[in-house]
Amino acid sequence: MEDLPDVGVLHIDHVGIAVADIDEAIAFYERTFGLRCVHQETNEEQGVREAMMAADADGARIQLLAPLRPDSAIGKFLDRNGPGLQQLAYTVRDVDAASAALRARGLRLLYAEPKRGTGGSRINFVHPKDAGGVLVELVEPA
Ligand code: V0V
């Protein structure tokens, strides 16, 4: 068997949920599940307003994602599916190395080079058709 490089997954970073209204969604997660909003930002390139929700200090986050425009990834997702789970994100040691390791396994990455994600992280995505129907995000924290 071919010796493939390690992808370098460290842990689950976040689960992304598409929502129509970010403020309503934050209030719902606070009120219902007792999560806290620990970060908010707008990412023009990705066409999203996002909020990171936490249950504890170190664990995986829930990322609420609302569209800035209808033709964005989240706008199209909402149009097709309505609100719900949109992506699963892994923290990786090195997004370039992780992307190369996944390409070596025959998986398609959405971007030739990583783009800017939450808090200045570097991100890329695996096409959902190559990952069992799951849009997988790779996050190298800033
Ligand atoms: C589409 N498909 C999905 C999917 N989105 N399957 C699972 N999960 C999803 N989220 C399926 C879709 O039903 C089609 O299946 C097939 O993939 C091809 O879809 P498509 O027509 O090409 O769909 P599009 O145009 O909606 O594009 C889908 C992709 C797009 C994944 C290419 O959403 C994308 O570029 N996503 C990456 C960027 C992103 O998600 N940004 C927002 C989060 P059938 O019908 O052919 O069977 S930004 C973020 O996470 C940040 C900033 C961060 O974490 O730091």
Report whether pLDDT(2) > 80.
no
Between CA 136 and CA 142, with CA 138 as vertex, the angle to 5 degrees is: 150
Residue of minimum CA distance from atom 38 in ligand 1: 73
Tens of pLDDT, residues 61-116? 999 999 999 999 999 999 999 999 999 999 999 999 999 999 999 999 999 999 99
- Closest ligand 1 atom to 125 CA: 37
Question: What beta strand segments (E) does the chain contain?
Answer: 9-18, 36-43, 48-54, 61-67, 84-92, 115-116, 122-126, 136-140
Cα-to-centroid distance, 3 and ligand 1 (Å): 30
Cβ of 51 less than 6 Å from ligand 1:
no
Sheet holding 84-92, edge to edge: 36-43, 48-54, 61-67, 9-18, 84-92, 136-140, 122-126, 115-116
